[in-house]
Amino acid sequence: KKKKKKKKKKKKPVEATASDNELVNDVSQRLLMRGEWSAPDEQWSGDELLEEDGLLIKWGPLAATGGLRWLLVMVVPRAVFYESIDQNTLVSALLSVAFIALSILVAACVGHFVARPLVKLGRAMKTIGELDFNKPPATFTSVFREVRELKEYYETMMVALRSFSRFVPREVVRRIVRREDDADKLRVVRRTVTILFSDIAGFTTMAESLTMTQLMRVMRDYYTAMTAIISHLDGTTGEYLGDGILAFWNSPELVDDHATKAVAAAVQMQSLLTTLNRQWKSTISPTFPDISVRIGIHTGEVFSGNIGSPTHMKFGVVGDAVNLASRLEGVCKVYRVGILISEETYVALTDPPDYEHTCYRRLDYVAVKGRAAGTWIYEVSAERDAERVRDVQALYQQYDAGLELFLGKHVRRSRRHVRKVLQRWPDDYPSALLLQRIDEDDGGVRRLTEK
């Protein structure tokens, strides 16, 4: 028997969307949803990345016979294509981070070497702006030429300003550095100030007995010490007038209790002169004559500011108050006292700083040369020893009592009183002068003819 051949049944094609393979099913569903399959073959291509599944789908037309249109679909894990790219990206990122870190490190090092000296230089410049030359100058080195040049400019400017402040009051230089509008213009303002004039008694005779070197040493020591006192008490040294000093308070900067500080400066100047005399006797000559200083102080309104011409000016004070202070210094010779102050200064006084035992004596009512109006003048002295203070205060009280009797036209009583004062204090020249005036004067304003 012939065996009948069994006909093989043709398998019906399975629609991809009905596939048991979950992946094939899912991909075919995605492709059908695109709705592009009636388009020409050229448009049968594309790709899609399934981020959540980590798959890459790519499709395209496949040439075939029989009039069929084939679509070739390829589904592969994403890592197959992107692993090397991811690796390269990671390496690039790491290299970038390393480069940035290195750049930051290099920048920090360079910044340290550049910024550190610049910070020091900035602090030093601020110190110069305040004209504080007591602080040590900025010291630093740098590998950068520009920074070294800045340091050289700073040192040059510091030397120039230090020298400038020796010729011009430091407060004026400070105003110029601050670039105040009127700092370098001719301009004055009215201001109440306290003016101090000082002069060395017998300077000409002393100068003749010294060599030029010795004289310069004495003047250097004297001016250095006196200027330091004035500056310490917020005063401005305006001028050196031969052997004299003109100083003032409350200009250009406002100063509280300027009258008090001016008197305190005068007292300290007289006290320090005793120390200087001992120093000169030991360093120059045992026979070196003791130097004494006369000081006149007045408080009043002046014109204060830049005085002179547009091409040459100075900061100073002018006015009748300046002249009166100068005259009071000369009046010291008449009464043989060290410090004289006007009534205006006396009224403005509070307790002088650093000196607890300052005594004041109302000396006389005088009209100085060149002035018609009279003014009360007061002697100022300071004693450290308590017993000496009590003695001086007693003298001043008895003197004032005799002066009051004289001004009240009680001539006989005032004469008797002043004679008793001289019996107790025979070396008090103002008392002797008052007794002479009682015998010759009518008790009015004493007009002085000497400067």
Judge contact between 379 and 339, C-beta under 8 A. Answer: yes
Six-digit token string for 286: 């045992």
Judge contact between 374 and 366, C-beta under 8 A. Answer: yes
* Burial class of residue 211, CB neighbours in 10 A (0-12, 13-18, 19+): exposed
Determine the Cα–Cα distance for residues 412 and 406; give it in Å rounded to an integer: 9
Instruction: Please compute, for residue 442, the number of CA atoms within 13 A of its CA located in the half-sphere on the CB side.
Output: 3
- Report yes or no on whether pTM surpasses 0.75: no
**Which residues on neighbouring strands pair with residue 359, listed in sequence order?**
381
Determine the Cα–Cα distance for residues 330 and 366; give it in Å rounded to an integer: 13
Instruction: Please compute, for residue 328, the number of CA atoms within 13 A of its CA located in the half-sphere on the CB side.
Output: 35
With vertex at residue 362, the alpha carbon angle to CA 405 and CA 192, rounded to the nearest 5 degrees, is: 140
Chain centroid to Cα 360, Å, comes to: 37
Six-digit token string for 126: 């601020």
- Under DSSP, the state recorded for 317 is E
Q: Tell me which H or E stretch contains 446.
A: strand 446-447
Per-residue pLDDT of the chain (451 residues; tens, 9 = 90+): 455 555 555 556 666 666 667 677 777 777 777 666 555 555 566 666 666 666 777 776 766 666 666 767 777 776 666 666 767 777 888 888 888 888 888 777 766 666 666 676 666 666 666 666 666 666 666 666 767 777 777 777 777 767 666 676 767 766 766 666 666 677 778 999 999 999 999 888 888 888 899 999 999 999 999 999 999 999 999 899 889 999 999 988 899 999 999 999 999 999 999 999 999 999 988 888 889 999 999 999 998 887 878 777 778 899 999 999 999 999 999 999 999 999 999 999 876 544 557 899 999 999 888 888 889 999 999 887 888 888 999 999 999 999 999 988 888 999 999 999 999 999 999 999 999 988 887 667 788 877 6
**Which residues on neighbouring strands pair with residue 244, listed in sequence order?**
241
